[in-house]
Amino acid sequence: MDKKYLRNNQYLDSKNLDARISLHQQYSTNPINLWDWTSSQYHLKNNDKILEVGCGTGDFWKTQQNKLPLNIEITLSDFSEGILNQCRVNLDNPPWQFCLADVEDLCFNNDSYDWVLAHMMLYHTKSKEKALFEIKRVLRPNGCTGILTVGDTHMSRLIPTDSDNMTITFNESIADKIIPTYFKKFEKHIYEDCLIIQDIGPIIAYLHSSPSFKNKSLSDQNKIVNTINFEIQSRGSFSVPKRLVLYICHK
């Protein structure tokens, strides 16, 4: 998807991102929170130097800030100034540093970080190859990157996978092919969940946060909403399976 559109529309501020996050927070049924699960895979150490690319509003760190090792340095970067400003509001105490940066052209020196985290964002990049090259470049020798992305059918009951231009360019199948060309050693971890939603309101907010839904005709939008609402009224809820994939890659 065009970066200018993403920066000036989809992620001009945190409204669309907040709508998407809210649905997961309210209706997830997995007893282990996604960010707790993700953090448990990393095994961060004292004095680690960490970069997150595409940090969004800092949601990961909001949930993990009381579990951080000692003397850790964390740089949070995003290409959207509006999103980064909201991240500053959400995380207003050290050890955070903030930087406006594009993962495809990072402003950091070679071999700078012990960890680079890329959570649910590489599908926004124009060139996955440039992004992965840059991530590997700024990693220290023996450093690691955590790449979190969507499974091929993730959330497809709400936004069909083949119509979601935001995620189809870097889902599990594509990541399985691209990542080994940059990182010979990596582990793949799977997180599964299901949203059980009883209220059409948050679903509508989520749908309107998606460009692929907003690009549909009003008639098609109404058909989708009416179909979902019928299931809620007849069954009491609407279920949405989730599958997320975390790759921990070693330099």
Quote the pLDDT of residue 16: 65
Report the CATH number that the domain containing residue 17 is assigned in CATH: 3.40.50.150
pTM here is 0.88
159 belongs to a structural domain = yes
Q: Is 29 exposed, middle or buried (0-12, 13-18, 19+ CB in 10 A)?
A: exposed
Quote the pLDDT of residue 3: 60
Quote the pLDDT of residue 1: 52
pLDDT digit string (tens) for 151-179?
Answer: 998 989 988 765 556 667 899 999 999 99
Quote the pLDDT of residue 9: 54
Q: Band the pLDDT of 208: cuts 50, 70, 90.
A: confident
- On whether the CB atoms of residues 10 and 79 are closer than 8 A, the answer is no
**Residue 243, token pair as written in the block:** 């599958």
Q: Band the pLDDT of 11: cuts 50, 70, 90.
A: low
Across the chain, mean pLDDT equals 90
**For the residues 17-31, what does the mean pLDDT come to?**
87
CB under 8 A, 24+ apart: contacts of 11-14: 11/80, 11/82, 11/83, 12/80, 12/82, 13/82, 13/83, 13/86, 14/56, 14/57, 14/82, 14/83, 14/86
Quote the pLDDT of residue 213: 85
Domain extent, residue 48, equals 3-195+241-250
223 belongs to a structural domain = no
220 belongs to a structural domain = no
229 belongs to a structural domain = no
Rounded to whole angstroms, how far apart are CA atoms 74 and 112? Answer: 12
pLDDT digit string (tens) for 128-138?
Answer: 999 999 999 99
204 belongs to a structural domain = no
pLDDT digit string (tens) for 68-126?
Answer: 999 999 999 999 999 999 999 999 778 999 999 999 999 999 999 999 999 999 998 99
The percent of residues above 90 in pLDDT, for the chain, comes to 76
Find the range with the poorest average confidence among 18-22, 45-49, 90-94, 181-185.
Answer: 18-22
Tell me how many domains the chain contains. Answer: 1
31 belongs to a structural domain = yes
Q: Band the pLDDT of 12: cuts 50, 70, 90.
A: very low
- Phi and psi at residue 140, to the nearest 5°: -70, 160
Quote the pLDDT of residue 93: 79
230 belongs to a structural domain = no
Nearest CA among 121, 230, 224, 128 for reference residue 182: 128
Quote the pLDDT of residue 210: 83
Quote the pLDDT of residue 165: 61
34 belongs to a structural domain = yes
